[in-house]
């Protein structure tokens, strides 16, 4: 049991980026300050620092995830699964609408009911919303 607690604590430190001995800070759970945080995307060539609000959506492809950004329709490939990315970005206002798509809710412009249902993003991309996630997706909005 103690080994499990130690492993979890070590993992949390790794997620937060704090070296041992440095006071722990709540990085991902402070929802009021999430827009001030920056993320480091590890690519094969470099480490790219971005603000979460510049991410339109993430697209999973096997053990890789493409980050679609607002700036110049830039697309960055990261060697992490969409599930791993979701665990972090859900605290930044992202929602998994499909097995292969995690969207920034502030960039969802419209939901279209035809063809099974899809969202239109602020850059014009159309992304399918799976039937199993539709009700939870709608619950995130106030409807009139």
For residue range 31-81, what is the model confidence (pLDDT) as tens digits? Answer: 455 445 899 999 999 999 999 999 999 999 999 999 999 988 899 999 999
Cβ–Cβ < 8 Å for 27, 37: yes
Enumerate residues 6+ apart whose C-beta is below 8 A from 87.
none
**pTM of this structure:** 0.72
Evaluate if residue 12 carries a pLDDT over 90: no
Distances (CA, A) of 36 to 14, 51, 66: 20, 7, 22
Q: The tokens 């950004």 sit on which residue?
A: 69
For residue range 94-143, what is the model confidence (pLDDT) as tens digits? Answer: 999 999 999 999 999 999 987 789 999 999 999 999 999 999 998 988 77
Q: Output the six-digit token pair for 8.
A: 């979890």
Least Cα distance to 12 among 22, 36, 52 occurs for 22
The residue with greater pLDDT, 16 or 54, is 54
Per-residue b/e over 40-69, b at no fewer than 16 CB within 10 Å?
A: ebeeeeeeeebebeebbbbbbeeeebbbbb
């Amino acid at each position: 049991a103690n080994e499990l607690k130690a492993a979890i604590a070590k993992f949390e430190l790794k997620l937060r980026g704090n070296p041992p001995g440095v006071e722990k800070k709540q990085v991902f759970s402070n929802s009021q300050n999430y827009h001030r945080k920056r993320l480091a995307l590890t690519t094969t060539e470099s480490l790219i620092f971005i603000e979460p609000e510049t991410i339109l959506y993430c697209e999973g492809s096997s053990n890789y995830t493409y980050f679609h950004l607002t700036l110049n329709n830039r697309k960055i490939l990261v060697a992490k699964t969409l599930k791993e990315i979701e665990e972090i970005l859900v605290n930044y206002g992202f929602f998994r609408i499909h097995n292969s798509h995690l969207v920034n809710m502030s960039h969802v412009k419209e939901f279209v009911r035809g063809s099974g249902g899809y969202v239109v993003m602020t850059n014009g991309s159309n992304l399918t919303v799976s039937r199993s996630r539709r009700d939870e997706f709608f619950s995130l909005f106030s409807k009139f």
